[in-house]
């Protein structure tokens, strides 16, 4: 039996590189997966990848900032697979939108947008998924942080929004530990994804990142961290921040 046998997982932003890798990792361990993404074609591509690997998955377009869409993703999981017991909150964005990186230049609209995408999305998806997870008898929620929430790195709005995710993770873990729901968070460092190169890494040479102290993570190595926290391999782990950064924060001068 796999570590996710008989589990039903909802993965948000499943069309992204890490999202698809996570959906595949879960399916290989026995989970059935709802692949949700803002873009319908990306959601279906992730689900098709899972099915192509021999797993069960359904893809659907959903904006997790919209309550009706959040409710629909949960209903899809329950209707299609009979329950929902695992949520992975992967929706997020790294670079500034409509403003510069510095605090005095980062405009209010860009600040609000980043708080919505990185923090409100976690709240919204969790708010709608947790009742179903409770009905299933418990399960796991895994959120996405960043090393920028731990050290002085990245634009302030990004670091602040992800710091909120860390705090929300711990608070939810305390709230739901008596109800058999574990809540944890993965903090990746630089990962070789199209989003990274578009939004933050585009001004760095690939070889410079690859040869730096932490190297460059792959979507599959980050997916392994999500799998560990979501699965039976971590039955007593809750309220924890798992840093998957190749040692960057440990070795940083």
Catalytic residues: 158
Nearest residue to 121 via CA among 145, 101, 98, 91: 91
- Rounded CA gap, 47 and 72, in Å? 17
What sign does the dihedral 49-227-10-195 (CA atoms) show? negative
Per-residue three-class SS string for the chain: CCCCCCCEEEECCCCCHHHHHHHHHHHHCCCEEEEEECCHHHHHHHHHHHHHCCCEEEEEECCCCCHHHHHHHHHHHHHHHCCCCEEECCCCCCCCCCCCCCCCCCCHHHHHHHHHHHHHHHHHHHHHHHHHHHHCCCEEEEEECCHHHCCCCCCHHHHHHHHHHHHHHHHHHHHHHHHCEEEEEEEECCECCHHHHHHCHHHCCHHHHHCCCCCCECHHHHHHHHHHHHCCCCCCCCCCEEEECCCHHHHCC
- Rounded CA gap, 212 and 174, in Å? 37
């Amino acid at each position: 039996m796999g570590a996710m046998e008989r589990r039903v997982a909802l993965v948000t932003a499943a069309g992204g590189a890490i999202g698809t890798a996570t959906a595949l990792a879960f399916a290989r361990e026995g989970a059935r997966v709802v692949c949700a993404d803002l873009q319908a074609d990306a959601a279906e591509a992730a689900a098709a990848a899972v099915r192509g690997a021999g797993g069960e998955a359904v893809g659907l377009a959903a904006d997790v900032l919209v309550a009706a869409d959040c409710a629909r993703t949960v209903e899809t999981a329950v209707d299609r697979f009979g329950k929902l017991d695992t949520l992975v909150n992967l929706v997020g964005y790294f670079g500034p939108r409509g403003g510069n990186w510095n605090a005095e230049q980062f405009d209010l609209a860009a600040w609000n947008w980043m708080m919505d995408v990185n923090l409100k999305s976690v709240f919204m998806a969790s708010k709608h998924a947790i009742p179903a997870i409770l009905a299933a008898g418990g399960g796991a929620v895994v959120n996405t942080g960043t090393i920028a929430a731990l050290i002085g790195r990245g634009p302030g709005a990004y670091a602040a929004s992800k710091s909120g995710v860390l705090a929300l993770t711990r608070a939810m873990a305390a709230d739901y530990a008596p109800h058999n729901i574990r809540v944890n968070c993965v903090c990746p460092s630089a990962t070789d994804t199209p989003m990274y190169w578009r939004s933050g890494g585009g001004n760095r040479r690939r070889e410079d990142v690859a040869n730096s102290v932490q190297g460059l993570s792959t979507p599959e190595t980050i997916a392994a961290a999500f799998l560990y926290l979501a699965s039976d391999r971590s039955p007593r782990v809750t309220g924890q921040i798992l840093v998957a950064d190749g040692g960057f924060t440990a070795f940083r001068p």
